[in-house]
Amino acid sequence: MSGERTQTGRKRPRRRGRFLPYILLSPLVLFIGALALYPTIVTTVQAFFTVDPVNPPTRFAGLANFRALIHNPFVRQSAVNTALYIVVGVGLSTLFGLVIALVLQRRSRWRGVVLALVVLPWALPGVVEAVIWGWIYDATFGVLNSVLKSTGLIGSYHVWIGIGRVVSIVLIELVQVWQVTPLAALLILAALQSIPQEIYEAARVDGAGSWEKFRRITLPLVRPGLAVAMVESLILSLNVFDQVYVLNGFAPGGASIMLQTYQISFNNLNFGQGYALSLLATFATMLLSLLILAVVYRRVEF
Amino acid sequence: MRGRSGLRRGGRALLIALILVWSAFPVYWALNTSMTTLNGAQSVPAHFVPSPFTAHNYGTLLNQTGGGVGNQFWRSFLNATIESGLATVLTVAIALFAAYAFARLEFRGKRIILVAVLATLLLPVYATLIPLYRIMSSVHLVNTYLGIILVYTSGFLPLAIWIMYNYFASVPRELEEAAFVDGATPVVALWRVMIPVSGPGIAATSIIVFLMGWAQFIFPLVLSSDLATQPVTVMVAALYGQRIVPFTLLNAIGVLAAALPGVIALVLNRYIVQGVMAGSIK
Amino acid sequence: MAEIRYEHVSKAFDSNTVVNDLDLRIDDGELMVLVGPSGCGKTTALRMLAGLEEVSSGQIVIDEQVVNDLEPRDRDVAMVFQNYALYPHLSVYQNMAFGLRLHHKPRAEIDRRVREAARVLQLEELLQRKPKQLSGGQRQRVAMGRAIVRQPRVFLMDEPLSNLDAKLRAQMRAQIARLQRDLGVTMLYVTHDQVEAMTLGHRVAVMRLGVLQQVAPPQELYRRPVNLFVASFIGSPTMNVVEAELHRESDGLRARFGSHDIRIDPGLAASRPALERYDGRRVVLGVRPQNTEDAALVDTGDTDSMIDATVELREDLGPEVDVHVGIDAPAPALEAVIEATESADTTGEAGVAGRPEGIFVARLGAGTEAREGRQVKLWLDPRALHFFDPDSGVAIYE
């Protein structure tokens, strides 16, 4: 008798509609499958093919695409550029984000207003931001020149973008940093706020000063937030496109890998090489993300 | 002692001032430039308030006669609104049901599907850009709203699900159990309890997704080549690149293109903060 | 109105059996309390009856109907949750009306029932408020109201008072008892608090590690616990236990522990015939703190029931004094005994911390002169001794 009942009971969700979850999930699975996973597979596979809509058919090419990329000086230069974008982007947005988060952590009358304004740059389209900053950087009428000259920091007006490679890249990336910093700040702030106040009080009773509290409590405990913020800004700076496209066009002095990919694929219609470069960039994204997580992330449980 | 804390407070105020300047100055500068004449904008050294003041640039944009810049601008503005608006509706609807299933129902394959969906969060634009263009062009959805909306939705879904999933997971299970005991089916419990209770989470998701849609550039750049579907970002970039529109007018366009997301960010700020924080650390 | 039967009900999560072969009958109109330390399976047992948890084997019967495969909504039960689970987006009125609306009751009847429940629970002023605007006690009453308006066959209460402070808890306890009596509804009430269990239950079912230990009216549970676990769990402070050896002398059975040797009341021995079999053998001897007294305050020359002890701690309760005393006797070193006393101590409301070895707690009259560090002569009521088998922990009666 009890054997009979084990049959009806047990594991199998007898109630709650057995098909309900699958019905609820089907649109999602359709979208993600057809428009995210499938394209990713296509990219991965066709990176090893010659894909040229002007010159069909698609045929297997082995590592030819990758070899062509490695020997393409523009691609190599864009890789160096992108590395610089990443260093500037991850470094500055994490630093600024941490500072802003620390300031916002303290409750005060102005916190709401400050928070609202801090989030603003994140909400605006990167293209529009680039246009706005482009005018600020303008060589003849830009406010940057104006301020630096009137404070005596420069003797005469500079052309900021398009001449010096490092300066161009730093300034272009600064626009992206402006956009990404709010996100970094919020992620770090969330981590800060998850630290129980009592820990600080305990540390104070134990005789820790502000600096010790920051170094021995805040910094270690905020690492999960830092890690996520750094991965976010890594992905964005590795993908940097809008700001470069607007401020520097396709000039090799500032072109990013994303820009190269766009050019190879949609201007030169060499989709095979586009796939190959995409695949390399995707791998780079994942590897660097894992690297950051391995170095920075430490699980914290309260 | 008092001297030190006064110093500290002063330092803090200075830091806050710096943060505010950093966050708001570029936007202010665009506003400033957009409200003056070309001569005013080109003065050396720069004027920090619009002088002379004029609303001429906005007037030009409002004047929609002929195929002028104003006409192009409003069309692209409308395109962006339609594309991000509909993508938001679609994304949030799909994400709601899926996130509920992930957060509350038990079924075979749950972990695998969830991990697969969230893994796409880590996929960079690279991974899908070219194939998506080729798929859309093969089904003749290039230069259509539908094509852009489908691509946006597929891109936004993972994040939307992550935020909603975390929100649902934070709703006490007993709330639904109370509904079950009160006589609800799972669908009724979702509809009458879970969704109403999750209002702030749904708002946060919708706002974040809409802003992401409004900011899109590279996908519409690839997927729409004419004004029929080009969103405002593509239009602005094109105008900037052509260097034929005066800077004052360009800044006015920038201000208007930033106005909608900007106002949303300022007014509905707390939902954005909530949403970002909900999906942040796990 | 309903009678409920658990018939050989078990619940396993993976390989972990949470409820093991539960057999329990709750009569129509009875208030049954399910009590035990956390993790004993009591909440799972309740949730299986509600339909929120599936039954792994066995069956649950409500009014001769097997409900194993019924959805919660089809069982006609109402439940009050530990954290109340009020719908935060609905007003008090809507919270109470929610279930009735789902059952498509006519609007007028819903209104009548909600207002009636609000009157009984003194919620009339609060009907338009949202749960967030209510105090803990008010939320608790709304949760009760939501159950009452349904007029269900069975009321399920999952630790409904554990989030209230002590004073409010006592008030609500009385109100729940009154409501249950007035409505005459069958109620299953889960708690970890033995005071709540004893004061509320018509009968109390004690569970431990998924196994039902004893079902009995409160007084019987207190006086005739079936084993060491029940004996230790019920009653506060926890029953004192020592390892003793029984031996028969000319004046009857006696128990020797350490340097002490006390006489067992002949009447008690006669009512526990099985004790004879333990003559010359070890037993676990139990004495409730309430069954001890300062010998100086006892009007008897019964020196056979007195032991010498050293006072280690004195706790004045007002009408009584609890003293912790060291006695010269080994505590039972048996695993089962230690586990039973520990689980009772950590979950008992009185907050008795794990009791160190050789320590006895005695509840003495306020006139006692026992002081820390001094000697005291304790009288152990010879008619209120408990005996347990040292190996199985089972109480020794017939």
Q: How close C9 comes to chain B (CA, Å)?
A: 21
CATH numeric code, C231-388 = 2.40.50.140
Alpha-carbon dihedral C323, C324, C325, C331, rounded to 10 degrees? 140
3-state helix, strand, coil in chain C (%, to 5): 30, 30, 35
Residue B28: which residues within 8 A CB-CB, separation 6 or more? Answer: none
Q: How close A4 comes to chain B (CA, Å)?
A: 24
Q: How close A181 comes to chain B (CA, Å)?
A: 9
Find where tokens 């482009």 sit. A134
With 80 as the cut, is the pLDDT of residue B136 above it?
yes
Distances (CA, A) of B259 to A116, B250, B266: 15, 14, 10
Find where tokens 């002063």 sit. B10
Structure tokens at C27: 């009569």
Q: By CA distance, what is B253's nearest residue in A?
A: A128
Residue contact C73–B199, C-beta within 8 A: no
Residue A10 near chain C (CB below 8 Å): yes
Q: What is the pLDDT along chain C (398 residues), one digit of tens a residue?
A: 689 999 999 999 888 899 999 999 999 999 999 999 888 899 999 999 999 999 999 999 999 999 999 989 899 999 999 999 999 999 999 999 999 999 999 999 999 999 999 999 999 999 999 999 999 999 999 999 999 999 999 999 999 998 888 888 998 999 999 999 998 999 999 999 888 999 999 999 999 989 999 999 999 999 999 998 899 888 888 889 888 999 998 888 999 988 899 999 999 999 999 998 998 899 999 999 999 999 888 887 778 889 999 999 999 998 999 999 988 877 766 555 555 555 554 443 333 334 566 788 999 998 888 899 899 999 999 999 999 998 888 999 88
Structure tokens at A149: 């000259």
Please state the length of chain B.
282
- Average pLDDT (B26-53) is 83
Instruction: Tell me if residue B82 falls in helix, strand or coil.
Output: helix
- CB half-sphere exposure, B3, CA atoms < 13 A: 0
Phi, then psi, of A215 in degrees rounded to 5:
-75, -40
* Sign of the four-CA dihedral C52, C58, C62, C66: positive
The Cα–Cα gap between C27 and A224 comes to 55
Residue contact B269–A115, C-beta within 8 A: yes
Phi, then psi, of C333 in degrees rounded to 5:
-90, 15
Query: C-alpha A262: how far from its chain's center?
Result: 18
Q: Is A60 exposed, middle or buried (0-12, 13-18, 19+ CB in 10 A)?
A: exposed
Residue C68: which residues within 8 A CB-CB, separation 6 or more? Answer: A5, A8, A9, C54, C55, C59, C60
Q: List chains touching B (3+ CB pairs under 8 A).
A: A, C
Residue of B81, B203, B262 whose CA lies nearest to A122: B262
The Cα–Cα gap between B164 and A206 comes to 41
Q: Say if residues B229 and B176 touch (Cβ distance below 8 Å).
A: no
Residue contact B180–C72, C-beta within 8 A: yes
Q: How close A18 comes to chain C (CA, Å)?
A: 13
Residue contact A9–C68, C-beta within 8 A: yes
Residue contact C71–A15, C-beta within 8 A: yes
Q: Say if residues C229 and C284 touch (Cβ distance below 8 Å).
A: no
Residue A5 near chain C (CB below 8 Å): yes
Instruction: Tell me if residue C355 falls in helix, strand or coil.
Output: coil
Tens digit of each residue's pLDDT (9 = 90 or more) over A234-244: 999 999 999 99
Chain C residue numbers with beta carbons less than 8 Å from the beta carbon of A10 are 54, 56
Query: Hey, of A127, A154, A171, A270, which one would you mutate to test binding to chain B, going by the most B CBs within 10 A of its CB?
Result: A127
Tens digit of each residue's pLDDT (9 = 90 or more) over B180-206: 999 998 889 999 999 999 998 999 999
Chain A residue numbers with beta carbons less than 8 Å from the beta carbon of B132 are 35, 39
Query: Hey, of C73, C86, C110, which one would you mutate to test binding to chain B, going by the most B CBs within 10 A of its CB?
Result: C73
Residue contact C99–B183, C-beta within 8 A: yes
Residue C132 near chain B (CB below 8 Å): no
The Cα–Cα gap between A48 and A70 comes to 14
Q: Say if residues A85 and A171 touch (Cβ distance below 8 Å).
A: no
The mean pLDDT value of chain A amounts to 86
User: Among residues 162-191 of chain B, which lie with CB inside 8 Å of chain A?
Assistant: 185-187
The Cα–Cα gap between C38 and C191 comes to 9
User: Among residues 57-76 of chain B, which lie with CB inside 8 Å of chain A?
Assistant: none
Chain A residue numbers with beta carbons less than 8 Å from the beta carbon of C56 are 6, 9-10
Chain C residue numbers with beta carbons less than 8 Å from the beta carbon of A6 are 56-57
- Average pLDDT (B41-46) is 77
The Cα–Cα gap between A91 and C191 comes to 55
B174: left (phi over 0), alpha (psi -120 to 50) or beta: alpha
Structure tokens at A138: 């303008």
Q: How close B158 comes to chain C (CA, Å)?
A: 28
Closest partner CB to C58 (pick from A2, A10, A14): A2
Q: How close C257 comes to chain A (CA, Å)?
A: 48
Expressed in angstroms, the distance from the first to the final Cα of chain C is 37
Predicted confidence at residue C335, as pLDDT, reads 56
Residue C151 near chain B (CB below 8 Å): no
Residue contact C69–A14, C-beta within 8 A: yes
Which amino acid is present at A22?
Answer: Y
Query: C-alpha C172: how far from its chain's center?
Result: 17
Q: By CA distance, what is A43's nearest residue in B?
A: B127
Which amino acid is present at A137?
Answer: Y
Instruction: Tell me if residue B25 falls in helix, strand or coil.
Output: helix
Each domain of chain C, given as residue ranges in start order, spans: 4-224, 231-388
CATH numeric code, C4-224 = 3.40.50.300
- CB half-sphere exposure, C276, CA atoms < 13 A: 7
Structure tokens at B182: 């009160």
- DSSP labels, C152-172: -SEEEEESTTTTS-HHHHHHH
Distances (CA, A) of C242 to C257, C357, C391: 7, 9, 14
Q: Say if residues C231 and C385 touch (Cβ distance below 8 Å).
A: no
Predicted confidence at residue B52, as pLDDT, reads 80
- CB half-sphere exposure, C391, CA atoms < 13 A: 3
Closest partner CB to A125 (pick from B12, B217, B277): B217
Residue A12 near chain C (CB below 8 Å): no
Q: Say if residues A161 and A247 touch (Cβ distance below 8 Å).
A: yes
pLDDT-derived band at B53 (thresholds 50, 70, 90) equals confident
Residue contact B20–A114, C-beta within 8 A: yes
Tens digit of each residue's pLDDT (9 = 90 or more) over A181-219: 999 999 999 888 888 888 888 888 888 888 888 888 888
Q: Say if residues C82 and C160 touch (Cβ distance below 8 Å).
A: yes
Closest partner CB to A190 (pick from B100, B266, B281): B281
The Cα–Cα gap between C283 and C334 comes to 11
Residue contact C52–B180, C-beta within 8 A: yes
Residue contact B126–A239, C-beta within 8 A: yes
Residue A7 near chain C (CB below 8 Å): no
- Average pLDDT (B233-255) is 88
Query: For residue C189, what are the β-bridge partners?
Result: C33, C157
The Cα–Cα gap between A270 and A275 comes to 9
The Cα–Cα gap between C246 and C388 comes to 12
Residue contact B193–C85, C-beta within 8 A: no
Residue contact C54–A8, C-beta within 8 A: no
Structure tokens at B273: 């903060």
Distances (CA, A) of B47 to A138, A147, A150, B55, B57: 15, 11, 12, 17, 17
Q: Say if residues C84 and C143 touch (Cβ distance below 8 Å).
A: yes
Closest partner CB to A32 (pick from B101, B154, B218): B154
Residue of B168, B182, B173, B103 whose CA lies nearest to C83: B173
Residue contact A8–C69, C-beta within 8 A: yes
Closest partner CB to C102 (pick from B184, B196, B199): B184
Closest partner CB to B174 (pick from C77, C85, C156): C85
Domains detected in chain A: 73-296 (1.10.3720.10)
Query: Hey, of A19, A35, A177, which one would you mutate to test binding to chain B, going by the most B CBs within 10 A of its CB?
Result: A35
Tens digit of each residue's pLDDT (9 = 90 or more) over A104-161: 888 777 788 888 999 999 999 999 999 999 989 988 888 888 888 888 888 888 888 8
Distances (CA, A) of A204 to A212, A213, B3, B28, C191: 10, 8, 21, 42, 41
Residue B227: which residues within 8 A CB-CB, separation 6 or more? Answer: B72, B75, B76, B235
Q: Residue C88 carries which DSSP code?
A: T
Q: By CA distance, what is C13's nearest residue in A?
A: A11
Please report which helix (H) or strand (E) contains residue C255, including its range: strand C252-257
Tens digit of each residue's pLDDT (9 = 90 or more) over A233-272: 999 999 999 999 999 988 888 899 999 999 999 998 889 9
pLDDT-derived band at B222 (thresholds 50, 70, 90) equals very high
The Cα–Cα gap between A176 and A244 comes to 10
Give this complex's ipTM. 0.90
In angstroms and rounded to an integer, the radius of gyration of the C-alpha atoms of chain C is: 24
Predicted confidence at residue A11, as pLDDT, reads 39
Q: Say if residues C120 and C176 touch (Cβ distance below 8 Å).
A: no
Find where tokens 């509809």 sit. B191
Chain B residue numbers with beta carbons less than 8 Å from the beta carbon of C98 are 179, 182, 192
Residue B191 near chain C (CB below 8 Å): no
Number of A–B residue contacts, CB under 8 Å: 285
The Cα–Cα gap between C390 and C154 comes to 41
Find where tokens 């070219």 sit. B130
Which amino acid is present at C182?
Answer: D
Q: Residue C240 carries which DSSP code?
A: E
Find where tokens 């104003």 sit. B70
In angstroms and rounded to an integer, the radius of gyration of the C-alpha atoms of chain A is: 25
Q: By CA distance, what is C59's nearest residue in A?
A: A5
Tens digit of each residue's pLDDT (9 = 90 or more) over B158-183: 999 999 998 998 899 999 999 999 99
Query: For residue C57, what are the β-bridge partners?
Result: C10
Number of B–C residue contacts, CB under 8 Å: 62
Query: For residue A165, what are the β-bridge partners?
Result: none
The Cα–Cα gap between A262 and B133 comes to 12
